[in-house]
């Protein structure tokens, strides 16, 4: 899931300064799960901004709405009238949602209310940890399901660095060494022989360093008749 955290209230106040009608738009998927941009958070932020505006003697109308997924335009159409009636939109979604709203409603400026952090997983109540860098060339089948690109501080592909001591990362002793975890996992599975195969340098062209990425499923694209190619 995409993990994000709400921007400081003061920063959001600066972004909405000078706008009388502001719409806070939450997202009902990833950022709802990490408690940063769902319906509850959107309403709390709108209430806090209204209170701050009142204390500062400012007249403004700040409302909240939420859609299931801001990254899909059909969901955003459900609140199209509210968006068109606002002077400024504050998106409580990841950076993708912010950009989609700006593209879908170009006559309105949408600003981010969150800082998008990483692709992660909940490890305990209230804690999310990065687990994937979306590198575009997944090697989890070779490492027992533990990602060395993300979980090794140096993204090493052929074992730990010389600074790993006692199964802990040299960058931060609070973090387990990813390659110790991989070794233990493969040992438990009886697959230690996999570590004998040398992995070549990673081809980063499939990652962000290769430029803007896009996936096209020809079988899902619509034909001229409006049907999917798979269905036809």
Q: Is residue 222 part of a domain?
A: no
- 196 and 139 inside one domain: yes
Q: Which of 94, 118, 142 is the last residue of a domain?
A: 118
Q: How many CA atoms lie within 13 A of 91 on its CB side?
A: 24
- 139 and 71 inside one domain: no
Q: Is residue 127 part of a domain?
A: no
pLDDT given for residue 212 in this prediction = 62
**How do residues 91-146 score in pLDDT, each as one tens digit?**
999 999 999 999 999 999 999 999 999 999 988 888 889 999 998 898 998 999 99
Q: Which of 60, 88, 118 is the last residue of a domain?
A: 118
Q: Is residue 223 part of a domain?
A: no
CB 67 within 8 A of CB 78: yes
Q: Which of 88, 118, 148 is the last residue of a domain?
A: 118
- 176 and 86 inside one domain: no
Give the distance, in angstroms, between the CA of residue 40 and the centroid of all CA atoms in the same chain.
19
The order of strands in the sheet holding 127-132 is 2-6, 114-124, 127-132
Q: Is residue 164 part of a domain?
A: yes
- 149 and 178 inside one domain: yes
Q: Is residue 228 part of a domain?
A: no
Question: Which structural domain, as residue segments, surrounds residue 54?
Answer: 2-118
Query: Which parts of the chain sit beneath pLDDT 70?
Result: 209-215, 220, 224-226, 228-232
- 96 and 32 inside one domain: yes
- 114 and 6 inside one domain: yes
Count up the domains in the chain and report the number.
Answer: 2
Q: Is residue 77 part of a domain?
A: yes
- 50 and 81 inside one domain: yes
Strand spans (E) along the chain:
2-6, 21-27, 61-67, 88-92, 109-112, 114-124, 127-132
- 143 and 102 inside one domain: no
* Angle at alpha carbon of residue 142, lines to 139 and 187, rounded to 5°: 145
- 99 and 192 inside one domain: no
- 64 and 101 inside one domain: yes
Q: Is residue 89 part of a domain?
A: yes
- 89 and 13 inside one domain: yes
pLDDT given for residue 202 in this prediction = 87
Q: Is residue 217 part of a domain?
A: no
| β-strands 88-92, 109-112 pairing | parallel
pLDDT given for residue 125 in this prediction = 86
pLDDT given for residue 211 in this prediction = 65
CATH number of the CATH domain containing 24:
3.40.50
- 111 and 138 inside one domain: no
């Amino acid at each position: 899931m995409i993990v994000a955290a709400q921007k400081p209230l003061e920063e959001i106040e600066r972004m909405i300064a000078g706008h009388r009608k502001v719409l806070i738009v939450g997202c009902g998927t990833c950022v709802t799960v990490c408690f940063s941009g769902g319906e509850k958070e959107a309403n709390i932020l709108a209430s806090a901004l209204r209170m701050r505006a009142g204390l500062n003697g400012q007249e403004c109308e700040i409302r909240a709405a939420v859609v299931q997924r801001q990254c899909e335009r059909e969901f955003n159409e459900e609140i199209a009238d509210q968006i068109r009636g606002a002077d400024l939109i504050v998106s409580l979604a990841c950076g993708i949602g912010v950009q989609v709203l700006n593209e879908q409603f170009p006559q309105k400026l949408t600003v981010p209310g969150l800082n998008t952090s990483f692709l992660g997983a909940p490890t305990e109540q209230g804690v999310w940890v990065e687990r994937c860098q979306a590198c575009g060339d997944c090697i989890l089948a070779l490492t027992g399901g533990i990602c060395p690109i993300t979980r090794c501080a140096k993204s090493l592909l052929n074992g730990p660095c010389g600074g790993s001591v006692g199964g802990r990362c040299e960058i931060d002793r609070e973090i387990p060494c990813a390659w110790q975890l991989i070794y233990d996992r493969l040992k438990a599975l009886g697959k230690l022989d996999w570590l004998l195969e040398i992995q070549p340098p990673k081809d980063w062209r499939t990652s962000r360093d290769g430029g803007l990425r896009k996936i096209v499923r020809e079988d899902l694209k619509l034909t001229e008749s409006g049907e999917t190619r798979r269905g036809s």
